[in-house]
A and B are shown apart, each in its own frame.
Chain A
């Protein structure tokens, strides 16, 4: 029966459909496993944009130790990262670079906007060189308020992101 269905004319279409079916089939049993893998290996890019990087550094310090939640310290190349923590103010000079960094990262990728400046411009709402929030250039997953946010707040933001990933459809990015 299958042999009748697949002809040389519609083979490509059929394979495409098969991909969809496979994705749907995998998503239920294996999506949880895929997401589980993503949750516990979030690698942030080492891009510091403003003063919130001090508290980002403090979050990796022995007292707060964000690594126990599966967020690893920012080392290494952006090609192996899947998380951008936008640490504060984005100036007009930094904005194109931030977008460039985001575009070079492989899927799936997540964005945490850390600090009031990254959310709305914060204290610098009337500055001539500061973007009013990063929503215009990046799709943000979690907003972490504060100026600067305490490390506990950042950790909570990371855990919220993990919660969000858990509920995401894994096939979105497959």
Chain B
């Protein structure tokens, strides 16, 4: 399989800070791969996504994309924790945000908005205002907005962290379905270990100060998976054990 993005020795430092948040991060994500980043808060998980999304310049290291650049799509799109819908735009116009500025005809744009909304199960919601939606629906719109620009890599920053348990589980299953249908690569940040091992092909544990990739776990469990499955549970238990060891060592709280 071909890597679509490669990080080599990436570090990020906040303005004014002496020590980087994380350093020496090497990571390559393959086409169609579902990669999860977990770690203690303060380990810079969200910051890592921002560096990959080019919202923040790394203080060291290089990133290379092996993605064909085209004017009718964006290589990378981001889904945020709080959905971040613009309240002055209808749902379909929120989904259109990333398409504005791409060379996409009006018809093609409308088609892509409709397809993206259909994919997240909100085909009939294009004409609603953001405040008319539930928390889970808002997050679906956030995902549709990311998918509409047809990215190779979808960055997801704790997208289900603010949702109740039932909504979270149903959105996890929706996301797996969407991932299988579209073949996108996903880099997904969470602090929920059960979510991590249920969703991911590979889980990276960030820890230390500055943070590094402490360990990487392959989740070999076949799909569709069960949340209670033995192999999923085994990896989960291992991640939890390592995380608490990290915590005891004071490696980033």
Are A and B subunits of one complex? no
